[in-house]
Amino acid sequence: MHETLVTSPAGILAVLAAVCSAAFYVEKKTGWKLFNFIPPLLFIYLIPVALSNTGIIPSSSPAYDFMGDNILPMFLAIMLLNVDLLATVRVMGKGVFVMLMGTVGVMVGAPIAYAIVSGGLGPEAWKGFGALAGSWIGGTGNMLAVGQMVNLDESSLEYGYAVIADNAVYLIWLPIMLGSKNLAGWFHKFTKVSSKRLETLEAAARELIVDKGKMEMRHFLYLIFIGFAVTAVAKLISANLDPISTSSGQVIVSASTYKILMVTVLGVALSFTGASKIPGSHAFSMALVYLFVARMGAKADLSNLDASVFLFLLGAYIWIFIHGGFLLLAARLFKVDVHTAAIASAANIGGAASAPIVAAFHKPALVPVSVLMALLGYAIGNPAAYLTALLCRWVG
């Protein structure tokens, strides 16, 4: 056994924050193209894995418990303040249906892929598929939230596999989405898109740019209040609801599930209020997300790592191409351009971090639209991915 070097909660939080800070500092300072293909998120997860498995920091601590109980629902609530459902539907039009079809592709692809590879995976692997579905419908925050909804132990191999698969697929899928721009001629013949659609979309996108103003000290206090208040209310409600179980005694909806669903509902409801205009909410929530990812890496235990990770990866690659098939079908049905289809997929698979990258490469004017689509994924990611996890368990 290693003798743990850093044991105090403050010291552990300092190490996790240092890892997150260092990853983004190096990305910004060096401008390495490596980060275009391997995002800082992967380093933020893997470095704490190494630190906890070599005795620098512990794999269990009251600091981790506090973050799991409070910080996760807090950042989810703050993140959802940015969702503008009405604007997304108004501007994207048919593009919303393409994204939702991509989401259906994620939900359908998961149980199919799981059925193919589950024989070589552990009994909890369906939970890992559910967590990965959270990332591929909404984003990293949803992955973490769905992990709690299905009671997936953050120190488990399945959680680690989900993170590894998420990034491994990203390495393949992002270049495909970027390269699809060169297939515009063929794609537009295939989908029979109107030549006026793109002009109309770009014009509408330019109207979306809204300046919330400079972030001030009071805005941090507003966001902290909202985050903790929503968390407290969601905990209070979920504690008074009875779990839902099958006839065989398997719990389908637990207290953790209720809590995350309530946070989602309350966060979306607040997005229709003046709270959505608070500056800095997205940046603040994403900072908490990355800190939580580092915490998840710190809790990972590599002692039981085995070859099943390759089966999990195989399932993820089968899964992503099923999503791609649904996306092509939707593009044909709704007659949309290749740029909208690529952004819709990136909004699903990569979330708010990747959708603007794809949009900027295809059509810079569509960057605001890409952010809206990714935020829509945040709103639907938790319930949709939870249902996907249940489908995988049923198939298994």
Neighbours of 166 (CB within 10 A): 23
CB 278 within 8 A of CB 212: yes
Predicted local confidence at residue 247, as pLDDT:
62
What are the start-end ranges of the H helices in 118-252? Answer: 125-137, 140-149, 157-179, 184-191, 195-206, 217-239
Q: Are 299 and 59 in contact (CB under 8 A)?
A: yes
| Phi–psi pair at 376, nearest 5 degrees | -60, -40
What three-state secondary structure class fits 178? helix
pLDDT tens readout for residues 33-52:
777 667 787 788 889 989 99
pLDDT digits (tens, 9 = 90+) for 183-231: 888 888 898 887 677 677 666 666 655 667 888 999 999 999 999 999 9
pLDDT of residue 396: 75
pLDDT per residue as tens digits for the range 342-360: 988 988 887 776 787 788 7
Q: Give the pLDDT confidence of 62-120 residue by residue, as tens digits.
A: 999 899 888 888 988 898 887 777 777 776 777 788 889 999 999 999 999 999 998 88
Give 357 or 275, the one with higher predicted confidence. Answer: 275
Task: Please tell me the predicted confidence (pLDDT) of residue 1.
Answer: 46
Give pLDDT tens digits for 108-120: 999 999 999 988 8
Distance CA 365, CA 204 (A): 9
